[in-house]
């Protein structure tokens, strides 16, 4: 399995988990008309803005992606890097966005 395929597989697992939990989300597809470095998945979890940057295990987060994560958090939202669906669930629980 290629690195891209592994990351896409993890992303699909995360999207399925979000759907199963009734969480609104959208997949960001980068284009020249969109701000660069935006997290892969944007969600609204119990009224809170959440950005999820999906990476395969060992994947490297680009400086621009880290900058966007920091900007979201400084604006009062939640943003993080997820290497698995378990990371998403743990982050949302730790941030008290889900029970």
Residue 11 inside a domain? The answer is yes
Residue 98 inside a domain? The answer is no
- pTM for the whole structure: 0.94
Q: What are 31-89's pLDDT values in tens digits? A: 888 899 999 999 999 999 999 999 999 999 999 999 999 999 999 999 999 999 999 99
Helix, strand or coil, per DSSP, at residue 25: strand
Q: Report d(CA 26, CA 64) in Å as an integer.
A: 20
Which pair of tokens denotes residue 74? 């400084």
CA dihedral 51, 93, 3, 6 (to 10 degrees): -120
CATH number of the domain encompassing residue 53: 3.40.1350.10
Q: What is the pLDDT of residue 1?
A: 73
Q: What is the pLDDT of residue 13?
A: 98
Residue 86 inside a domain? The answer is yes
Count: domains in the chain: 1
Domain encompassing residue 60: 3-93
Q: What is the pLDDT of residue 30?
A: 83
């Amino acid at each position: 399995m290629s690195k891209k395929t592994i990351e896409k597989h993890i992303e699909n697992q995360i999207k399925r988990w979000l759907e199963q939990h009734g969480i609104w989300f959208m997949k960001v597809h980068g284009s020249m008309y969109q701000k660069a470095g935006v997290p892969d998945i944007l969600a609204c979890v119990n009224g809170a803005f959440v950005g999820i940057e999906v990476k395969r295990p060992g994947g490297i987060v680009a400086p621009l992606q880290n900058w966007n994560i920091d900007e979201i958090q400084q604006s009062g939202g939640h943003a993080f890097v997820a290497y698995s669906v378990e990371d998403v669930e743990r982050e949302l629980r730790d941030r008290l966005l889900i029970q």
